[in-house]
Amino acid sequence: GQQVMQIPQYQHVQEGEDFTTYCNSSTTLSNIQWYKQRPGGHPVFLIQLVKSGEVKKQKRLTFQFGEAKKNSSLHITATQTTDVGTYFCAGVPGSARQLTFGSGTQLTVLP
Amino acid sequence: DGGITQSPKYLFRKEGQNVTLSCEQNLNHDAMYWYRQDPGQGLRLIYYSQIVNDFQKGDIAEGYSVSREKKESFPLTVTSAQKNPTAFYLCASNRGNQPQHFGDGTRLSIL
């Protein structure tokens, strides 16, 4: 089936370092959503991007939607231990009718 | 998440047994979803329902069944036909194209 690919699968960073996760689809996405899941918790919605080339910021988090609406990224500046968790992108690719989640990037922040 | 209640939090299944996971929401959302999460594989859609008395298969519906007799309730039955049921099950709901709200999840294990 149609997939939304996400890399890397795991990322370990030292506290204070930056972090980026990338999301790619082979088909155009109508929009892209990002969720964060803390260890042992459930996914929590962070943001939605709709427009081609859109960039949104939430404090130290920067979200981008590609010009072709096929890729997206989440960048965290100066990571903190509170950033630990798995970050998922999700979109509706091509002719799919429902949201498809990426496999997630598990972020570990070492103090 | 406030408004979506999943129960139980932990569930154990014996071989050949059917078990039912509960999901209730008081957000007045029309659509409800069931996802399965395995380590490193993100969220996979089992079933979804966009309106009462109607539901659709997701990507991995085999071995599962659902019902949607009331707007606020969307129970998932894991049947004995599901040979590898051990996973974290998440229920979600939303309205239209709005982001999904998730419950706290149910962890199912095999005895």
Q: Which one has a higher pLDDT value, A30 or A96?
A: A30
Tell me whether residue B32 is exposed, middle or buried, using C-beta atoms within 10 angstroms of its C-beta: 0 to 12, 13 to 18, 19 or more. buried
Chain A: residue nearest B4 by CA? A42
In this complex, do A9 and B48 lie within 8 Å of one another by their Cβ atoms? no
Give pLDDT tens digits for A35-52.
999 999 999 999 999 999
Angstroms from A4 CA to nearest CA on chain B: 11
State residue B1's pLDDT score.
46
Give pLDDT tens digits for A51-74.
999 999 999 999 999 999 999 999
In this complex, do A88 and B101 lie within 8 Å of one another by their Cβ atoms? no
Mutate to test the interface with A, among B50, B89, B102, B104 (most CBs of A within 10 A): B102
Neighbours of A99 (CB within 10 A): 22
Residues of chain B with pLDDT under 70: 1-2
Which residue type occupies A73?
S
Mutate to test the interface with B, among A4, A35, A42, A46 (most CBs of B within 10 A): A42
